Amino acid sequence: MQELTHYINGAHVKGESGRFSDVFNPATGEVQAKTPLATKAEIDAAVAIAAAAQPAWAAVNPQRRARVMMKFADLLNRDMDKLAEALSREHGKTFPDAKGDVVRGLEVVEFCFAAPHFMKGEYTEGAGPAIDMYSMRQPLGVCGGITPFNFPAMIPMWMFAPSLAAGNAFVLKPSERDPSVPLMLAELLEEAGLPKGVFQVVNGDKEAVDALLDNETVQSIGFVGSTPIAQYIYARGCENGKRVQCFGGAKNHMIIMPDADMDQAVDALIGAGYGAAGERCMAISVAVPVGKDTADKLIEKLIPRVESLKIGPYTAGDDVDYGPLVTAAAKERVLGLVDRGVEQGADLVVDGRDFKLQGYENGFFVGACLFDNVTPDMDIYKQEIFGPVLSTVRADSYDDALKLAMDHEYGNGTAIFTRDGDTARDFANRINIGMVGINVPIPVPLAYHTFGGWKKSAFGDLNQCGPDSFKFYTRTKTVTARWPSGIKEGGEFHFKAMD
Just list the catalytic residues: 281
CA-based end-to-end distance of the chain: 77
Tell me how far apart the alpha carbons of residues 482 and 264 are, in angstroms, rounded to a whole number.
63
Helices assigned H by DSSP within 240-288: 262-274
Q: Which residues pair with 411 in a beta bridge?
A: 454
Q: Which residues pair with 495 in a beta bridge?
A: 486
From the CB of residue 289, how many other CB atoms can be counted at a distance below 10 Å? 28
Specify whether the CB–CB gap between 448 and 463 falls below 8 A.
no
Exposure pattern of 330-357 as b/e (b: 16+ CB <10 Å)? bbebbbebbeebeeeebebbbebeeeeb
3-state helix, strand, coil in the chain (%, to 5): 40, 25, 35
Nearest to residue 140, comparing CAs of 113, 171, 163? 163
Specify whether the CB–CB gap between 283 and 275 falls below 8 A.
yes
Write the CA distances from 395 to 270, 345, 391, 405, integer angstroms. Answer: 20, 17, 13, 11
Specify whether the CB–CB gap between 7 and 187 falls below 8 A.
yes
